[in-house]
């Protein structure tokens, strides 16, 4: 038999033997092949096997070796794509709109009544197949794809979840298996976090993440479940916590007590790179938690704290316990966003900072004047690329950052600044940035007629040669004593100026027609 025939039969018998005789050894397969392949007929098989020459065996072994070394042709599928390409496909699937998904899941909510006087609640239950989003559906197309998608399905969790479900389903079920995959966790704390352990404002922690009344917000997360959720996600890179309640007078300070109890738990998150903490109601003042929590997170790259904070009055704090000092020790920090804090002062310029910060946002930080902002920012972020300054403002005009000695001709030096967002009482503070030649995008909030005039003057002087986009927010213009027609004329002039220099401009205008009896038209 010719080698080509051996190759064909070898391929055929490999398939047969592998399917029928999985336990057959390689030597046995070779013997069967030699016997059949060397015989002219089945009748001669038993005798011809004993007459094989060494050269025949060598030829056959050579064919076997050559066949094994040949690349196997197989059907190419999605899993053959580079990981980077597959990730991009998943990202695009994730961005697809899930039309009707929320409505379908809402229809799947049922009312559960408990024994005795237990308060009824609503939860999501599916009677047939579960209602899945696009990524979840895609992950079920094959076992291989599911194994690859599995970590991505649990990468980011937000509590309360979009559909009501018992919190035990997560803490005693799902996260026991999937908790290590979670990289981002967002928690909204319930009012129970300002009560002593075991006490509750309205409902106990059993009702966390459930709906008591479908017309109201889902129940937020109580202390015990906050701790359990954090503890079951050990590989977090992002942790976000927020709350929107105001502490009752009898419970002042209890929220911070609870937060301080979380510090040892958060310190176990060895991969945490981003920490976000927001009091949306701004009804609770914190004294120690912000400083302590950043002191135990050395790998932080992004820090967002938007909550009223005050230094401990009447006490001499140790230098190394101060908020600014602990910030200066974060060697990888690139983004710093602070809102409503009052801890920014000249002492920040006494510390040695790592010069890694490129993105800064200061929002309504009490006591922060333009001169202090410039001094601090220039010291802590010499390579700044993104800056957002929104100075404190009250409707009555009191306690806004007005600094009579500030010279608008003071030229701020931020040579790498590309993005600027500015909201300030002093309209000419924007002029101080005219030497920032790298600016590409500027957003400026107008409060007065003079605010509306300033951007056009800067553009006419050609101070920002790389500017690509200007966004002027004139929706908050103070209309008392202001001729709104003059405001509109200035905005039209600005639009025309931008058109002439081929600059993209977005102007958010004052939209109400009648204000305090004045007609815009």
Q: What are the tens digits of pLDDT across the range 458-507? A: 999 998 999 999 999 988 766 555 678 888 899 999 999 999 999 999 99
Indicate whether 106 belongs to any domain.
no
Band the pLDDT of 66: cuts 50, 70, 90.
low
Whether the predicted pLDDT of 185 surpasses 50: yes
CA angle 9, 12, 15 (to 5 degrees): 145
Q: What is the residue whose two structure tokens read 């409505």?
A: 103
Nearest to 437 by CA among 463, 411, 470: 463
Q: Quick check: is 62 in a domain?
A: yes
**Over 60: is that where the pLDDT of 3 sits?**
no
Helix (H) or strand (E) holding 175: helix 175-178
How many C-beta neighbours within 10 Å does residue 392 have? Answer: 18
Q: What is the mean pLDDT of residues 137-150?
A: 87
| pTM, 2 dp | 0.78
Residue 509 lies in a domain: no
**What b/e string do you get for 362-378 counting C-beta neighbours within 10 Å, with b at 16 or more?**
bbbbbebbbebbbebbe
The answer, yes or no, to whether residue 49 has pLDDT greater than 60, is no
Q: Which two tokens stand for residue 160?
A: 């309360």
79 confidence band (pLDDT: 50, 70, 90):
confident
46 contacts: CB under 8 Å, gap ≥ 6: 35
Structure tokens that stand for 368 in this block? 């922060």
Per-residue DSSP letter, 386: E
Determine what percent of the chain is predicted with pLDDT higher than 70.
Answer: 76
- Would residue 22 count as lying in a domain? yes
pLDDT value of position 39: 45
Evaluate whether residue 309 is within a structural domain: no
Q: What is the pLDDT of residues 273-318, one digit of tens each?
A: 999 999 988 878 888 999 999 999 999 999 999 998 876 654 444 4
pLDDT of residue 135: 86
The two structure tokens encoding residue 67: 């066949």
With beta carbons less than 8 A apart as the criterion, state whether 199 and 234 touch.
no
| pLDDT surpasses 70 at 156 | yes
Return the pLDDT at 95: 86
Decide the pairing of beta strands 518-519 and 514-515: antiparallel
CA distance 201 to 214: 19
Mean pLDDT of 355-370: 92
Residue 24 corresponds to which tokens in the numbers above?
A: 């057959």
Q: Is the pLDDT of residue 14 over 60?
A: no
Both structure tokens of 375 = 């001094």
Number of domains in the chain: 1
The Cα 245–Cα 259 span in angstroms is: 15
**How far apart (Å, rounded) are the C-alpha atoms in residues 181 and 234?**
9
Of residues 239 and 211, the one with the higher pLDDT is: 239
If one compares 427 and 13, the residue with the highest pLDDT of the two is 427
Provide the pLDDT for residue 497. Answer: 95
Q: How far apart are CA 404 and CA 426, in angstroms?
A: 9
The answer to whether residue 89 is domain-embedded is: no
What percent of the chain stands above pLDDT 90? 43
Residue 271 or 200, more confident: 271
With cut-offs at 50, 70 and 90, classify the pLDDT of residue 43. Answer: very low
Q: Higher-confidence residue: 133 or 382?
A: 382
- Closest by CA position to 68, among listed 27, 13, 10, 12: 10
CA distances from 480 to 395, 512, 518, 521 (A): 12, 14, 9, 16
- Residue 39: which domain range? 3-69
What's the whole-number mean pLDDT along residues 143-172? 90
Indicate if the alpha-carbon torsion angle 204, 208, 213, 216 is positive or negative: positive
Residue 483 is assigned to a structural domain of this protein: no
Q: Is residue 163 part of a domain?
A: no
Provide the pLDDT for residue 402: 62
């Amino acid at each position: 038999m010719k080698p080509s025939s051996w190759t064909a039969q070898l391929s055929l018998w490999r398939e047969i033997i592998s399917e029928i005789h999985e336990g057959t050894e390689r030597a046995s397969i070779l013997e069967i092949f030699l016997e059949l392949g060397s015989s002219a007929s089945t009748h001669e098989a038993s005798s011809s096997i004993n007459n094989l020459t060494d050269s025949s065996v060598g030829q056959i072994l050579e064919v076997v070796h050559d066949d094994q070394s040949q690349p196997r042709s197989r059907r190419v599928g999605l899993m053959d794509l580079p990981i980077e390409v597959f990730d991009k496909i998943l990202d695009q699937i994730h961005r697809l709109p899930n039309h009707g998904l929320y409505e379908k899941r809402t229809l799947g909510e049922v009312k559960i009544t408990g024994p005795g006087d237990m308060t009824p609640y609503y939860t999501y239950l599916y009677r047939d197949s579960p209602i899945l989003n696009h990524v979840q559906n895609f992950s079920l197309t094959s076992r291989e794809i599911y194994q690859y998608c599995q970590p991505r399905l649990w990468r980011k969790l937000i509590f309360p979840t979009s559909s009501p479900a018992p919190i035990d389903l997560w803490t005693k079920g799902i996260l026991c298996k999937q908790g290590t995959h979670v990289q981002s966790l967002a928690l909204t704390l319930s009012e129970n976090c300002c009560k002593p352990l075991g006490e509750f404002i309205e409902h106990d922690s059993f009702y966390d993440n459930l709906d008591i009344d479908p017309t109201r917000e889902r129940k937020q997360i109580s202390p015990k479940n906050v701790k359990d959720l954090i503890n079951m996600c050990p590989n977090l890179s992002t942790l976000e916590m927020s709350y929107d309640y105001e502490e009752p007078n009898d419970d002042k300070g209890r929220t911070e007590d609870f937060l301080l109890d979380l510090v040892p738990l958060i310190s176990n998150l060895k991969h945490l790179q981003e920490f976000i903490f927001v009091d949306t109601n701004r009804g609770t003042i914190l004294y120690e938690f912000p400083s302590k929590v950043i002191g135990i997170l050395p790998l932080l790259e992004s820090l967002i704290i938007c909550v009223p904070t005050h230094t401990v009055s009447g006490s001499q704090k140790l230098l190394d316990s101060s908020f600014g000092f602990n910030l200066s020790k974060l060697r990888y920090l690139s983004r710093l966003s602070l809102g409503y804090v009052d801890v920014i002062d000249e002492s920040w310029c006494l510390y040695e900072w790592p010069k890694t910060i490129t993105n800064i946002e200061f929002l309504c930080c009490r006591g922060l004047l333009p001169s202090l902002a410039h001094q601090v920012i220039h010291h802590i972020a010499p390579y700044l690329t993104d800056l957002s300054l929104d100075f404190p403002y009250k409707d009555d005009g009191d306690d806004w950052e007005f600094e009579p000695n500030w010279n608008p001709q003071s030229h701020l030096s931020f040579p790498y600044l590309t993005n600027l967002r500015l909201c300030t009482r002093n309209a000419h503070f924007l002029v101080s940035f005219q030497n920032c030649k790298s600016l590409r995008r500027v957003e400026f909030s107008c409060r007065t007629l003079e605010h509306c005039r300033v951007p056009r003057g800067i553009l006419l002087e050609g101070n920002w040669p790389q500017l690509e986009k200007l966004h002027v927010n004139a929706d908050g213009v103070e209309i008392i004593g202001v001729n709104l027609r003059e405001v509109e004329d200035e905005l039209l002039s600005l639009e025309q100026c931008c058109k002439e220099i081929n600059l993209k401009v977005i102007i958010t205008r004052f939209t109400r027609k009648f204000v305090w009896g004045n007609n815009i038209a």
